[in-house]
Chain A
Amino acid sequence: MSDYVKALFQAYYRQLDLESLVPKDLTKREFGFILPGKKGMIRHQAFLNPKDYKGFLVQNAPVHAYHSATLYNSPWKDRMDLKDYVGCDLIFDIDCDHINTPCKKDHDAWTCKECGNQGTGKAPEKCQKCGGTKFDDKTWLCDGCLGKAKAETRKLVDDFLVKDFGLPVDSMDIYFSGQRGYHVHLEHDAFRKMSTDARREMADYITATGLSLISIGFLVKTNNIIGFTLKDPGWAGKISNGLLNIINDIESGKNLGSIPSKELELLKANKDSLKKRLLENITNWSLAGIGEGIWNHIIERVIEDTRCDIDVPVTIDIHRLIRAPATLHGKTGFMNCKLTRQQLDAFDPFTDAIVFKGKAEKIKMSSDVPRFRIEDKTYGPYKKDETDTVSIGAAVFLLCKNMCEVVH
């Protein structure tokens, strides 16, 4: 991190009020920091009062600041077994990295560390040229990726946590991470006491892992297919509703590219009959030309569209560090923002997470830079060595990505 960015980060922390900065149960959490110019993370830090925590941030301007989702009686101890576990917040993480968006092909790139072979999109498991397995990844942020992450977060909150798990929407805190996704935190004691097994079961429900059609009542008896109704609880009802959505999309002429053409044709041919049965809660799903195999393919697609793409290890791990609220992300300069469900709808990370505004800076690109947006202005694409005068938010964004230098 350059001295220029460090000074800005320090100024940001200096003016910040304690209330928005300090996580709940501060004294029981372990903190970890990556500091400017230092290698690796310093772990096992703890703070006895909010002022000390703020003082640390002002003085050190960490590149990344994390705290444990876990509460300990002795968070400063340097061995996990000595920290004295109290409980752990339940965390859901939605990250662009885990979501396939078509725009990745346009803005993400990889280079094989062995032979220099290059490609776009997500790095392969193995380099096709030399078989190497280590890559330099260059990922980028765009409205498409963060929009998809936001849609997944809405799905997680509305369709799963509120509707299925019955949780009041004000019992959860939603955070924009400051870079590539969103976190949902549940900090009630009942969740803090959950075992790893119980957390895994919740994660599996949300991702439809281990879903067995037979177990939820899908039956094939000779030529009869017994399905579900729209009002069935759990995944049975989700599948019926997903199916109804597909029929509505067919009727409105929407592009249904994710459904194979054979299955789509059969659904089109049977749409009226199927819609009638769904709306009348008739479970007889026997339809001309749609046997058990075809049904399985169709339901698979419905499940794929209905499940939510959370990062499962984050939810089931009870010793994980997560990004601290209101801190700045060292790879973007964006703020980690706390949001209510209502605020999430209108939230624009490229505007609302920008803390450095106004003041133009002249910068020189140190590498090629793809197009990006900060607030209402779009910048680039730039070639290496090109110069431009940009807002301070855009300059910080590129400086954090090591893609430019300030021209004095």
Chain B
Amino acid sequence: MEALYNHASMLEKVRAIISEALDNKEQSKVLGYEDDEGLYIYPWIRIILAFMNSPQLTHRMANLLSKHFSNLLERENVFTVLLVARDQAINAEQVPADKRVTVNTVTFSYRLPFLDFLNVAARFKSHAWKLVNKLLQNGQVYLRKHDLVRMLEELIKLKVLEPSKAASDDALKVAFINDPLLKPFYDGLVEVVKEKMASSASTSIDNMPVDDSLFPPCINAIIDKNAKGVNLTHSERLFLVYFLLTIGKTIDEVLGLFRNQPDFNEKITKYQVEFAAGKHGKRTQYTPHNCVTLESLGMCKKDDPKLGSKFCTEPKTPFKNPLTFYRRRMWFKAKKASGNAAMRADEADDRGVDAAETALNGRDDTNAHGF
């Protein structure tokens, strides 16, 4: 903590950076280009984020820092970018001039092993980042400098989101929040964060009843199939249960749906739905499959002529999980009810939903237990 005492301006900078993050800024005016103080500030930001234990604040800070540094990296020469990439286990290299790939006048001058690419890019939502849409040859993915920087941006984001050891260091927390100089600083921060978060969460969807008419196409397709008494596949059953339980349907409501199944057995199905709700086994509450997984399993219906939705195909902000589709539309509904309907549902600020999406990590539990 001595560092904070010795550099009084650092406290002010930490406060200012947190304020920038709370305002959803993507560029920091506090962190300079040639400013070494950033090196000292970063550990303290991580520690304070850990003590505050606010997923929303951590997410916004991750966004601010990753965007800020990616802007700096864009301005760096290619050797620096390659050096930073290698430091982060991205073994990218510049392609010799005679081996560069040009597609429609765009030249791809860098390449990296496909496993290094997937370690980072498999998390991206956009179709353009899927491996199937990349230039892959002999185990190497060909990219532009801008693409490398984008990958590094993601890595910075992940580093900030990574749980910090400080979170479990109770002695450090007690010493920090009871320190005569730091206490007022920390208490002040807690107040500001509380205030800002409360204002952005004013349109809460948490207590609204579930609205079946706002379901995404992938869920509607399974519900239609179930209504017709068609036997659902194992993956369809899991996805339906995880989705409905996550948005607030009760175990009995979900169980009721399965009565339509030709192989319905109340005792077995009840146990399985309860398992999915975390009442048995390792007591995990599962989250529904992500959109990319649904696509791989052939369960994505965004392009279905009857069920498809523009909220899936043309979202202003891409999303990873069908839960976001539902929650954005619910948010819009809540906003409309409170008298402010001047935006499309998919333009809705993610503030009410981004913490939940952050928690979804693409897990695939298709073999978790047997329906």
Contact = CB atoms under 8 A, between A and B. Distances in A.
Interface of A: 79-81, 125-126, 131-134, 163-167, 190-191, 194-198, 200-205, 207-212, 215-217, 219, 226, 228, 232-237, 283, 312-313, 316-317, 319-320
B140 interface: yes
B229 interface: yes
Nearest to A226: B104
A79 B104 contact: no
Contacts of B368: 80, 319
B101 interface: yes
A313 B138 CA distance: 25
The residue in B134, B235, B297, B364 that gathers the most chain A C-beta atoms within 10 A of its C-beta is B364
Contact of B122 (A165, A167, A198): A198
B136 A132 contact: no
B281 interface: yes
Given A81-B282, A133-B229, A317 B142 contact: no
B367 A209 contact: no
A217 B104 contact: yes
Contacts of A163: 137-138
B104 A283 contact: yes
The residue in B127, B135, B229 that gathers the most chain A C-beta atoms within 10 A of its C-beta is B135
Contacts of A197: 118, 122-123, 292, 362
B213 to A, nearest CB: 26
Nearest to B363: A196
Given A217-B103, A226-B104, A313 B297 contact: yes
A29 to B, nearest CB: 16
Contacts of A207: 296
B118 to A, nearest CB: 4
B282 A204 contact: no
Contacts of B265: none
Given A133-B230, A195-B122, A80 B282 contact: yes
Given A196-B364, A320-B367, A201 B131 contact: yes
B133 to A, nearest CB: 4
B72 interface: no
B83 interface: no
Contact of B295 (A165, A191, A209, A217): A209
B366 A205 contact: no
Contacts of A320: 367
Interface string B130-172: 1111111111101000000000000000000000000000000
A131 B123 CA distance: 42
Contacts of A283: 104
Nearest to B130: A210
A228 B136 CA distance: 14
B114 A208 contact: no
B356 to A, nearest CB: 18
A313 B115 contact: no
5 contacts: A201-B121, A228-B103, A232-B135, A312-B297, A313-B297
A2 B142 CA distance: 57
A118 to B, nearest CB: 19
Nearest to A197: B122
A204 B296 contact: yes
Contacts of A164: 136-139
A319 B296 contact: no
A307 to B, nearest CB: 10
B139 A166 contact: yes
Given A80-B282, A209-B296, A210-B132, 20 more contacts: A80-B368, A133-B229, A134-B262, A163-B137, A200-B122, A200-B364, A207-B296, A212-B127, A215-B127, A215-B133, A216-B103, A216-B133, A217-B104, A219-B104, A234-B133, A234-B134, A234-B137, A316-B296, A317-B364, A319-B367
